[in-house]
Amino acid sequence: MSDRRNRYERVALVTGSTSGIGLAIAQALILDGWMVALHGLGAAQEIDSVLMQVASQVGFSNMPRHFHADLRSPEQARGLVSEVESKLGRVDLLVNNAGIQHTSRVEDFPTSKWDEIMAINLSAVFHACAAALPGMKRRNFGRIVNIASIHGLVASAEKAAYVSAKHGVVGLTKTIALENARSNITCNAICPGWVRTPLVEAQVHHRMSAMGLDHDAAERTLLAEKEPSQRFTTTEHIASAVAFLISEAGSNITGISLAMDGAWTAQ
């Protein structure tokens, strides 16, 4: 029997891809013919449910594979890339999307939360890139897209760890782009403003409780504070941006931070 890996001409690893932005990116890639390695923590039943959800959207002909790794661990972050390469043959596209959030003033910020956010939101990005780059260099092709945040470009109060980590991702993106500028490897960051994801939904619910607002009013106040367009960026918008950055048209775009923020940073 021939090695199944030989079937996969384009392989993408998308971290944090069992919900939200990562799942939308994964689904778009599958529809475009990529073999996608999904990643995310969760019980087997939850993962099976996600896989069936993907199949209902994109069909069963190119089902993704799921890989488990705790990105708080450098060894597991690097091992995730190695496992995908071992089982699927290669990693041509790495999308670093996994991330967590915690809000608190600096003097009250729990050390454990700081360490956890920095590990997942920044260090895991470094370790995954470091593990994927050698294979990309051997094949003289690679695309890396880091899902940063508008908080990689500007700050907000009570988000010290998240803002610090995302600024770090933007800097790391530039460094990788410079180190590989003469190769056929690009590295870019996408910096969304408000996106309707579970992470943002938690902030909406916090506003509902703290300000006594209904859901729609809480969303409006969230948008009004920062985003002049008064509109959420959608996960599909971000998936489309990824598709452009990894396309032939984007082959000489590297080291950028693409703000998708409804004019947030134009102010």
Domain with CATH 3.40.50.720 in the chain: 8-193+234-258
Nearby residues of 238 by Cβ (< 8 Å), 6 or more positions away: 21, 24, 25, 147, 190, 192, 195, 260
> Which DSSP string corresponds to 188-212?
EEEEES-B-SHHHHHHHHHHHHHHT
Q: Which CATH architecture has domain 8-193+234-258?
A: 3-Layer(aba) Sandwich (3.40)
Q: How far apart are CA 267 and CA 40, in angstroms?
A: 36
Q: What is the dihedral of CA 63, 69, 74, 77, to 10 degrees?
A: 0
pTM: 0.93
Strands (E), the chain: 11-14, 35-39, 65-67, 93-96, 142-147, 185-192, 257-260
pLDDT digits (tens, 9 = 90+) for 28-64: 999 999 999 999 998 999 999 999 999 888 887 788 9
Active-site residue list: 162
pLDDT digits (tens, 9 = 90+) for 97-155: 999 999 999 999 999 999 999 999 999 999 999 999 999 999 999 999 999 999 999 99
